[in-house]
Amino acid sequence: MPRSLKLKGPLFRTFSINPVARAAAAESPADAPTTYDVTVSTEAPVIRYDWWTGREFMEVLGHGADEVDLSYMRAGPAVLEEHRGLQVGIGEGVSLDPQAGKLGAAIRFSKAEPRGVIAEGKLKEGVLRHISVGYEVRKYKLVSTDKEGMDTFRAIDWTPYEISLVGIPADLNAGVGRHKDEERELLVPIEGSEPQEDSRMKKVLDGNGRAIEVADEDPRPAYVAERAAIEMVEREVDPEIARANTILDFAKSRGVQELAADLVQRGLTVREAAAEILKQSATRGAAQPAAEALSAVPAKDARRYSLARAIRRTIEGNLDGFELEVHQQIERFMPKSQERHGMSILVPTRFELGAHETRTMGSGVAGGGAEIVFDQPGQLIEILRPNAMVIQSGATVLSGLSAPVPFPVQATDVTVYPMDENPAAAVTDSEVTFTTALLSPKTMQSTVPIPRQLIVQSSPTLDVESLVRASIMAQHDRKLDRWALHGLGTTGEPLGIWKTPGVNVEDFGAVPTWVKLIEMTSKIVEDNADIGAMRWLTTPLMAGVLMGTPRVATYGSVFMWEGNHRNGLMTGYTASSTNQISKLMLDLEATGGTEHGIAFGVWSELVIGLFGAIEVVVDPYTLATKGQIRITSFQMVDTVIKHPAAFCVSTDARLA
C-alpha cells in the first residue's frame, strides 16, 4: 500500500481575482445577466500540514488534462457568497490551460436573489477581491525535496467542486469557504515515495515567457512550474495580501478579529488599521483572546461544541473532533508553569465554571437530574440566579495572563514652589514615591458528581450540556462578580471593593437620603478620581425603596431613583440593582447584619485578571461504585482596584 498524507479537510485555496465581464451577444436581451471570466486555480504552491508526520509540505495543484477532474465544474458549480453559504450565482463553462497551469471559469449572478445582485455589485466595486475554491485531492506525487527537507507534492488527481467569493479570507494562504461536509480527516495516497521525473514532455519558456512543450533534446533549460512559482512567491509578495494578513493577525492578537474584514475593505493602511484596532480593543473590557474563547469560531462551529461530549470522550480516553481542536488551541497559549490535573479538558472561558459548589444528582432521583431526562422534552426550567453586574458595569478584564501583573501606583506628586529672581536657596526637591498594586492568581474550584446514566440518557435537546453550562459553569462568573464586590482578601479570596483600603465610605445611619447620595458622588470628584464613566449598584430591595422615596419631602413627585431596576438613573448617573450586593451587611462586612450595600464609582478602575484557562478534570473512578463521575473545574483569577478613590461604598444603609 503506498504511503499517504493525512490532512484535515475539506481543502480550500484562495486567489486574488481581476474579473473580466464578457461582452453580451447582439441578440441578448438588455436585462440579460452579465458573465464574468475569473481564474479559479493556478499552480502556485501553498503550505500544508501532514498529520501523520507532523511536518509541513508544499502542495502544488497539477493542471494537466489528466490531473484535474472537471466533472463538478462542467456541471455548473455553485457560486457562494462569503462564509454564509448562500448561493448567489452559478459557474458556466470552464477553461483549462495546462501550459500556463491555470484553471478558469465563467460565473454569473442570480438576478432573482437579492444577495446575488449585491454580490455582483461588490465584485464590480472591488470590495470582493478574492475567490476561494473548494477541492478534494485523491492522489499526490512527490516531485522534489529542497535542501531544508521540505517536500513538494503535486496533486495529480484532484477535483474542484465549489467557488466562493470572499472579501478577506481567514487564511490567505489556504483559503476558506463553505464546508461541503463536516470537517474530517483525509488520507491521500502518494504515487511513489521518491522524487520522480514528470512523465510529460519537457517544458521551456518561449520568447513571450510562456511555457511550451519541446523535445527532450532541446538545449534550452527546463521550466518547472512548481519551482518557478515558489521563486515568484519568494521574490514578490502581493502587497494587498500582505496588508490583509498583517491587519488580520494584529486584530486576532487583540481579540477583535471580527473587525479585520471591515478594516481591509475600507482600504486602511496597516498603521491606520492598527490604531483603530487598539482603540476598539481598549474599550472592550470583557473581550477574550482566541486562545480562551470561541469568539473567533464561526457560530455554526461554536454551536457544535459540547462539554458533555468532551467529558464522555475523555472518560473513554479518546477526546476527538471539534472539542479536541479547541482543547489543543487553548493549550498552545497556556502558561508553561501552570500545573495540569490528570485527566482534564481545557474549556473556553465563555463557558465559565462554578466555584466551590457541590451538588448531588441522579437521573432517577427528584432534584438530581431526573427532571432533564424526558421522552418528549419541553423547555428546561432553570433555577433563578442573581445577575452578575460588575463586568457589565465596565470592569476591565485582562485575560490570558501567565504570571502576576504589578501595577505601579504613584503615591505622591511633584510639588511646585514660587521662586524669586535671585533666590537665596535652591528649590526643595520633590520626592515622588510609588507603591504597587498586584494581580496574583487565586484558584476558583467547583466539584459536582454527575451520574453516568444521566450523560447517556439525556435527550438531544435537554441534555446534561444545559445543566453543566447553565448551572455549574455560570457560577464562575457569579462567584468572581461577588468577590469583586465583597472579597475578603484572605482565605484565597481576591480583595473586593468594600474591603479595599482607600475606598471612600459614606455612613448613612438610616434610610438613604438625597443629600447622602450626593455626598457619595462628591467624595470621588473631590479626590480628582472622576476619571471615567461612573455608575451605581445596589440591592433590588434598596432600589425599590429609592424608587419610592422623594428627593425632597416637600416636592414628592420627583423620586431619588428614576427608571427600572436594570436601567435606572440616580443623581444623573446610571443605576442598576443586583442580588450580588449583600443585604446582610454589618459595617464593611458582607454578613452579620441587616444593612444593604450601595456602591458608586468608576468601574473601569476595577481590574479582573484571568490566568490561563478553565480546566475541567474528569474523575470516573472515585465515585465509580455509585455510578457517578466527579467533575472538578479550576480557574485562577484575581481583582485589583487601580485607584481606590474612584469608588465610594455605603455603611449602615437601611430599608426603614
The Cα–Cα gap between 550 and 425 comes to 60
Q: Is beta strand 606-619 parallel, antiparallel or unpaired with respect to 396-401?
A: parallel
The Cα–Cα gap between 448 and 468 comes to 9
27, with CB counted inside 10 A (0-12, 13-18, 19+), is: exposed
Reported as half-sphere exposure (CB side, CA atoms, 13 A), residue 21 has a value of 12
70 by DSSP, 3-state: which?
coil
* Number of helices and strands in the chain (H, E): 14, 30
The amino acid sitting at 541 is L
Mean pLDDT for the chain?
75
The DSSP call for residue 370 is G
Average pLDDT over residues 597-619: 88
CA distances from 311 to 71, 578, 619 (A): 43, 33, 10
613 vs 651, residue with greater confidence: 651
User: How much is the pLDDT for 295?
Assistant: 47
User: How much is the pLDDT for 524?
Assistant: 96
User: How much is the pLDDT for 590?
Assistant: 93
User: How much is the pLDDT for 338?
Assistant: 59
Residue 105: enclosing H or E segment and its boundaries?
A: strand 102-109
Enumerate domains of the chain plus CATH numbers.
4-23+30-202 (no CATH), 239-282 (no CATH), 497-606+641-653 (3.30.2320.10)
Is the pLDDT at 356 greater than 80? The verdict is no
The DSSP call for residue 473 is I
The Cα–Cα gap between 529 and 524 comes to 5
The Cα–Cα gap between 274 and 276 comes to 5
Three cell numbers, residue 19: 474579473
Residue 273: enclosing H or E segment and its boundaries?
A: helix 270-282
**Per-residue pLDDT tens for 57-70?**
889 999 998 999 98
User: How much is the pLDDT for 300?
Assistant: 54
Neighbours of 406 (CB within 10 A): 12
Q: Which of 187, 192, 189, 188 is nearest to 142 (CA)?
A: 192
Question: Hunting for cell 501567565 — which residue is that?
Answer: 402
CA distances from 26 to 29, 108, 111 (A): 8, 18, 20
Average pLDDT over residues 90-118: 84
Is the pLDDT at 527 greater than 90? The verdict is yes
User: How much is the pLDDT for 361?
Assistant: 38
The amino acid sitting at 575 is A
The amino acid sitting at 382 is E
**Per-residue pLDDT tens for 145-176?**
888 788 899 999 999 888 887 754 433 433 33
Three cell numbers, residue 557: 413627585
Three cell numbers, residue 355: 466555584
Is the pLDDT at 286 greater than 60? The verdict is no
What's the pLDDT band for 427 if we cut at 50, 70, 90? confident
Q: What is the pTM of this model?
A: 0.51
The DSSP call for residue 340 is P
Name the packing angle between helices 307-315 and 321-332 (round to 10°). Answer: 90
Is the pLDDT at 474 greater than 90? The verdict is no
Average pLDDT over residues 134-139: 88
User: How much is the pLDDT for 515?
Assistant: 93
The Cα–Cα gap between 50 and 48 comes to 7
233, with CB counted inside 10 A (0-12, 13-18, 19+), is: middle
The Cα–Cα gap between 635 and 342 comes to 15
Strands (E), 146-291: 151-166, 184-189, 202-205, 211-214
Average pLDDT over residues 182-205: 59
Is the pLDDT at 311 greater than 60? The verdict is yes
Cα pseudo-dihedral 44, 50, 56, 62, rounded to 10: -20
Is the pLDDT at 522 greater than 50? The verdict is yes
User: CA angle, corner 632, sides to 627 and 634, nearest 5?
Assistant: 175
The Cα–Cα gap between 482 and 183 comes to 41
Q: Which of 575, 568, 498, 567 is nearest to 533 (CA)?
A: 575
Average pLDDT over residues 88-117: 85
Q: What size, in residues, is the chain?
A: 656
The amino acid sitting at 276 is E
Q: Decide: 291 and 400 in contact? Cβ < 8 Å.
A: yes
